A and B are shown apart, each in its own frame.
Chain A
């Protein structure tokens, strides 16, 4: 693991600000890990309110999507998608009134406390909550383990450079996050609970410690290093156990949720609010006013960038997510989706895009790989088209954190080659 240049100072002291109400939103049918939603509940011309169910499914892994503004459905067509490039989305023309769905009425403490685990899971499922750290795995599935859970970990590490939205949530909505966490423990009934935070967030650590004490939850302070917030790394830091190769945290009785996810659980249960908005860090040296914005799902990226401007430098690269694992955007028209934790504008095309040279065997990738792999050797096996050898070297354990390519003095595209090869290996096994 490596301490990276953080760039968090750009936004870490900026409170989460409500983004301007978008005049038009594009809600993609694919915002979760799985297949696009196939049961579309609205058609062009329908009036919708904020929180209206737009689409769902009845099979496989999925999470429903909801309208994020009130207005009229204009089209259901292909539209730029931040992850897959182009995908089906429901476009809504706003009426400017931002009317909420009538069934969004707050629950009292007593009502919330009386909910059974199954009722809670149903609420979370209906609210369309997915893992908001970026993986977008449907949360209700993660809350339905087949085995008893021993440890629950709230992941507030936020180890990606630039991103501060989780940190702001912990500072500004500490009580809500704790309430959300209590709901999660009501479902999972774990023996121990941990809150993992990197030591570059002392304010959040203090607030969480004050509140976690009464529940006997442990705040685990992690050394600031990338990728400390990776699920497997957080588990090892908190309980000292490793997730065996090829297994899931479930298998060793551990569940990890990101703070933004737990906050969304709080909102879904206490406010009956489906997941139609989230905190997004809009940052980068190109922006005069980088901010943490509470943005409606479906808001075009350019709207948010406009609210953080003016542009002081020409952006060369726009990234959704953090700079280590985020996705480069080809357009500013793509919408914010549930997994969007940040929008980062980089002004210089990094030297990464320079020509690769031979590996000089400096060993940086080997010594710093959080999974203990030899990334350079795996990439070499891939370049010789020996995928079985790459598998033997542990390619499928790679968490794709990108540290190897970041560190490489020969500018080799190590993790890029690994990601492509993993897809090929998975396809071959189907």
Chain B
């Protein structure tokens, strides 16, 4: 036996899960929502998912090459950004929207800030905000569920019907809670099926990749806020279940507000983050100019994360409690 051994400072063992295992697990957890989305909205949405993810991966490779860095597209983070962006797009929007969106997400929102771990804003959401400002027409026309192949058949989302005053509740829309739960409504590609999103969320909880702190505090706050202020008839008469099940709340709370890079590092910080996201979402939905506020509330809170991390810290051992002299 040769007498050559590897020498390094301890620890000498490491947990198996590295960044790429974490990222691909999240991608897997996202799969059910996408598959159901494609089933509901048809072939075009499959092409949109493919275009967005391919564009995201290619942009990441190109940018890392240009920045003379190691190309790390196999870690699954660029794929995830492309996937999340596609899930946030209307299923019938042109493919080039997905391609440009992914380019913006990776090149501007992620790599321009220094790449994975350095970005301030969730890349997919930053890109969605950009697309909404740049091509509002393409971003606000939603396909009708199960109207395969017919480009012209569109349907407003439940939240925009509510915002525009065209309906005051589920009954006016001809929908039930069950329709909202399984995804039988107009909306973004990956946000409609709450059941699939919850399955993915439970899987991530089981895998300990996310904890309940952010999603639960976010969703609960939206529920309480819309219950309190969501009705014109008076306080605490709002249809909170409708608000929880519609829009991008589930997708945002489970998969985007929990993004490691752009959320607080401590559990207490994550609860504050979730509650504030929920408040902002409720305010935008009820009093704001847009029908939906999940995207903007997460983006706004992303910018507050350094502040939260500065003030919400873990309790240090040996700093607070001191045994007094002479205590028996």
Contacts and interface: CB of A to CB of B under 8 A. Distances in A.
Q: Do A and B come from one complex?
A: yes
Interface centre among B3, B13, B14, B116 (most CB of A within 10 A): B13
B14 A405 contact: yes
A390 B317 CA distance: 16
B12 A350 contact: yes
Contacts of A352: 8, 11-14
A360 B23 CA distance: 11
Given A244-B322, A359-B117, A363-B260, A402 B3 contact: no
Contacts of B19: 357, 360, 409-410
Interface string B115-142: 1111000000000000000000000000
Interface stretch (B188-196, B217-225, B261-269): B261-269
A4 to B, nearest CB: 8
A40 interface: no
B313 A374 contact: yes
Nearest to A311: B1
Q: A-side binding surface: helix, strand, loop or mixed? A: loop
Interface in A385-430: 394, 397, 400, 402-403, 405-411, 413, 415-416, 419
A318 interface: yes
B321 interface: yes
Interface string A152-188: 0000000001000000000000000000000000000
Interface stretch (A62-70, A92-100, A326-334): A326-334
Given A360-B116, A409-B22, A411-B14, A242 B321 contact: yes
A369 interface: yes
Contacts of A355: 70
A357 B116 contact: yes
Contacts of B266: 363, 366-367
B5 A317 contact: yes
A117 interface: no
Interface centre among B11, B117, B316, B328 (most CB of A within 10 A): B11
Contact of A360 (B13, B70, B261): B261
Given A352-B12, A410-B19, A361 B261 contact: yes
Nearest to B115: A358
Interface in B273-316: 313-316
B11 A367 contact: no
B152 interface: no
A370 interface: yes
B17 interface: yes
A397 B17 contact: no
A314 B22 contact: no
A359 B116 CA distance: 8
A324 B117 contact: no
A323 B316 contact: no
A368 B321 CA distance: 20
B318 interface: yes
Interface of B: 1, 3, 5-19, 21-22, 70, 72, 75, 114-118, 260-261, 263, 265-267, 313-323, 328
Closest 3 A/B residue pairs (Cβ):
A358-B117, A402-B11, A372-B316
13 contacts: A4-B13, A161-B13, A311-B1, A316-B6, A317-B6, A325-B11, A326-B10, A328-B10, A354-B18, A360-B117, A360-B261, A374-B314, A406-B14
Given A328-B9, A394-B316, A416-B9, 7 more contacts: A242-B321, A328-B7, A346-B12, A363-B260, A371-B317, A407-B15, A415-B10
